[in-house]
Amino acid sequence: MAKKPFAKKMEVTPALAMQWLEKSPPAGPSLSEETILCLADVIEKGKWIEDTGEAIKLDENENVLDGIHRLWAIFTADVAVNTLVVFNVKPGSLINLSPRRRRTNTLLSY
């Protein structure tokens, strides 16, 4: 029987971010270094907004399903951040979400 998903606001340290990234399959060409560096800059400047409603999503084996750029940014910035994490998300379930407009670095810069 599959474990039930649950959400938890928690501190994600650079070490924990890397632990989850190392467990997960490679992101491949969808990984954007520009996005990672932009997010890392936001974190380093102390402008990270905790309560956006966006969550890092992990399956029951703690493979990253959503949030890989945020995790790489936390590791790159070498700064822990508080964020929402959802555990035990069923792999493949993210296809149920509405297609989202791609985020651009313009939206991230302030």
Question: Would 74 be classed as within a structural domain?
Answer: yes
Question: Would 73 be classed as within a structural domain?
Answer: yes
Question: Would 62 be classed as within a structural domain?
Answer: yes
87 contacts: CB under 8 Å, gap ≥ 6: 3, 5, 6, 7, 8, 58, 60, 62
Question: Would 14 be classed as within a structural domain?
Answer: yes
When divided into structural domains, the chain yields a total of 1
pLDDT in tens, 48-60: 998 898 999 999 9
pLDDT in tens, 37-87: 999 999 999 999 988 989 999 999 999 999 999 999 999 999 999 999 999
8 contacts: CB under 8 Å, gap ≥ 6: 84, 85, 86, 87
Token pair of 94, please? 């993210």
Question: Would 30 be classed as within a structural domain?
Answer: yes
Question: Would 1 be classed as within a structural domain?
Answer: no
Question: Would 97 be classed as within a structural domain?
Answer: no
Domain residues for the domain of 17 are 6-92+103-108
CA atoms within 13 A on the CB side of 6: 5
Mean pLDDT computed over 78-103: 76
